[in-house]
Structure 1
Amino acid sequence: MKPAEFAAYMFLAVAWGLSFLLVLHAVAAFGWVGAVTLRCFIASLTLLIIARVARRKLDFSAGWKAFAVVGATTVAGQLVGLSYATPIIGTAMAAILVASIPLFSMLIGQLWGLERISAQSLIGMILGFSGIVILVGFPAVPFTAAFALGCSACLLGCICAAFGSNYASRHLRGSGAWEITIGSFLAGGLMTLPLLIVIPVPTTPGLSDFAYLFSLAIIMSALTYITYFRLVSLIGATKTISVEFVVTIIAVIVGAVALDEPFSVIQAIGALVIIAGCALVLGLYPKRRTAQLLAPDITCERDF
């Protein structure tokens, strides 16, 4: 992974880790449907305005169908699942389920022949998910019908995210990150808009509520998804989605600092396990220089 790609990867981790806090505020003020719908439209419109001001040429020749599929899955499906589930099951359980996205992505990518999963990447995925369980733990809440529904919604959103990312990698390879982000968010907003008739905005939002919503839409949707889809095209869907492991670490740290949630030694160990797993998936460990061991003279000449 190149330095620029790693910087983009860490930007996604920090932004999406902080987004857990903003999602709770936005859902409380706008409802889970309103928060997703408005978030989609604001993100899409913001990027269109920036592109127009910057005179950036946009190419949507890939067709509405491809953007609609990504909008229905990676955007609408994922955001609806998380927005509905997080207030019900809590950020801890939501974080555990979100960590399953790279695993689903790995399986879909393998089935579609998009990526060849190495033994090292597979071990990294297992380590990353194990670290999530150690880091977050399972919340001590009663298992009710609402809790089960929330977990199911969150898990469905995770599957949608993994499917949409691989679909974009396969069918929108020739489209730019700006086009994919604008098109998918516009499609996602249009798909969730009719649900406002059934589930309207519950209260009259205040100025601070709109501040949370716009931050969520512009910084943690528009900018992050451009970065995200760009990384998918550069390093593949599975490696890009492995950022969800680091997202959980950031979310736990934010919870400990901003919400006074406890952070134990066991959780610190879990964070280290997650980092080790991500390093395996991303190939950050130095590889053995087989060529140098077999032909040192030739390798030395190449180095100079």
Structure 2
Amino acid sequence: MTARGWWLFAAMALLWGVPYLFVKEAVATFSPAAIVAGRTLVGALVLLPIALQRKAIAPALRKWPWVLAFGAIEMAGPFVLIGHAEITLPSGLTGLLVATVPLFAALIGLAGGDRAVLQPLRATGLVVGFVGVAVIVGGPAATTGGAGGIVAVGELMLVAVCYAVAPFVVVTKLRDVPALGSITLSLAAVGACYLPIALVVPSAAPTARSTVSLVLLGVLCTAVAFIGFFALIAEVGPVRAPLFTYVNPVVAILLGAVLLGEQITIGLVIGFPLVIAGCWLAATGGRLPGRRSARAARGIDP
């Protein structure tokens, strides 16, 4: 990998590892709906001039039903579920549970006829990954918020399923649409849908800290992150690019512990490596992918 590739890799590991910290800060005074509306509208406003300059909006508009479907699965549902879950769960634990996406992607692939998922190492990865989730759910998640913590875990598992399904929409229905156009239009549509809800759902008086976190969530972790991800794909290819997602939980857990004082429990220490190792095995079969692949892969956007 080139030096530029490594810099982009590090940038994406940070940009999509830090959102859980910002969401945790924002949800202290903003409702989950307000966080989704603010994040997506800010992201859309930043990306729109670039998308217009690259003539990416018109092709997306021609496929608007599928663009909206992508936005609902990739953004509308996951963003609000993450915000609601972080009312109860620590930010680091949230980031780790969302990182189970490759496990669900493998199961979806198996349901679609991908028999490669049954290869010994990949099948082992599925088992190991879900054992890690069980250890976490039986440990830190069970002792954080009681029944509410278990509900929050269920919300994050649903987020992981959504993130696993969304690429199939892109691959099958939006293959010929510029990604920048699809993402910009999706962000604008999701923001427009959530804005009325955000205005009527009660929220506490916004603090400067929560407001700055929300703005950074929209600018850095949404708009800039997507631009960086496109650059990373162009630099190292669509298969290697998503490998940074295995670093995201490390960033989320460290930031939560250092900046928010979140506890690193025994269950998290045991479950964390199991989840990451399981996801890696389930997704790659234990091999580092090459630069070329017939099927594009996408990363995890919290």
Give the TM-score taking structure 1 as reference length: 0.74
1:291 corresponds in structure 2 to none
Answering whether residue 168 of structure 2 is matched by residue 170 of structure 1, we say: no
Report the AA paired with residue 185 of structure 2: G
2:182 corresponds in structure 1 to 180
**Maintained 8 Å contact 1:105/1:166:** no
Deviations 1:242-289 (A, max 9, x none): 7554322221111222233455798667665566556543477479xx
| SS of alignment partner, residue 203 of structure 1 | coil
**Maintained 8 Å contact 1:81/1:155:** no
| SS of alignment partner, residue 117 of structure 1 | helix
> How far apart, in 2, do the equivalents of 1:175 and 1:91 lie?
34
2:155 corresponds in structure 1 to 153
2:33 corresponds in structure 1 to 33
| SS of alignment partner, residue 17 of structure 1 | coil
Give the TM-score taking structure 2 as reference length: 0.74
Deviations 1:44-69 (A, max 9, x none): 110113445xx322244241111101
Q: Which moves more between the two structures, 187-196 or 64-73?
A: 187-196
1:223–1:94 distance in 2 versus 1, CA, 3 Å: same
Larger Rg: 1
Q: Which moves more between the two structures, 108-117 or 245-254?
A: 108-117
1:235 to 236, 239, 244: 239
Answering whether residue 207 of structure 2 is matched by residue 203 of structure 1, we say: no
2:260 corresponds in structure 1 to 259
Q: Which moves more between the two structures, 166-175 or 151-160?
A: 151-160
Deviations 1:184-242 (A, max 9, x none): 21122123233225414x13434443321121111111222345578599229xx83x7
**Maintained 8 Å contact 1:77/1:161:** no
Report the AA paired with residue 235 of structure 1: V
Q: Which moves more between the two structures, 32-41 or 102-111?
A: 102-111
**Maintained 8 Å contact 1:82/1:154:** yes
> How far apart, in 1, do the equivalents of 2:76 and 2:195 lie?
10
Q: Which moves more between the two structures, 203-212 or 214-223?
A: 203-212
> How far apart, in 1, do the equivalents of 2:10 and 2:124 lie?
21
Answering whether residue 144 of structure 2 is matched by residue 141 of structure 1, we say: yes
> How far apart, in 1, do the equivalents of 2:182 and 2:57 lie?
10
2:292 corresponds in structure 1 to none
Q: Which moves more between the two structures, 67-76 or 122-131?
A: 122-131
Q: How does 1:1-304 map to 2 (within 5 A)?
A: 8=8, 10-52=10-52, 55-62=53-60, 63-91=63-91, 93-112=93-112, 116-117=116-117, 119=119, 120-128=121-129, 130=131, 137-139=139-141, 140-141=143-144, 143-144=146-147, 146-200=148-202, 202-228=203-229, 231=233, 234-235=238-239, 240=242, 244-263=245-264, 276-277=277-278, 280=281, 281-282=283-284, 285=287
Q: Which moves more between the two structures, 277-286 or 12-21?
A: 277-286
- By relative contact order (CA 8 Å, sep 6+), the higher-ranking structure is 2
- How big is the shift at 1:172? 1.4
Report the AA paired with residue 205 of structure 1: P
Report the AA paired with residue 238 of structure 2: L
1:262–1:143 distance in 2 versus 1, CA, 3 Å: closer
Segments of structure 2 that go 5 or more residues without pairing to the other structure are 290-302
**Maintained 8 Å contact 1:80/1:157:** no
Segments of structure 1 that go 5 or more residues without pairing to the other structure are 288-304
**Maintained 8 Å contact 1:46/1:222:** yes
Q: Which moves more between the two structures, 160-169 or 125-134?
A: 125-134
1:114–1:207 distance in 2 versus 1, CA, 3 Å: farther
> How far apart, in 2, do the equivalents of 1:183 and 1:151 lie?
30
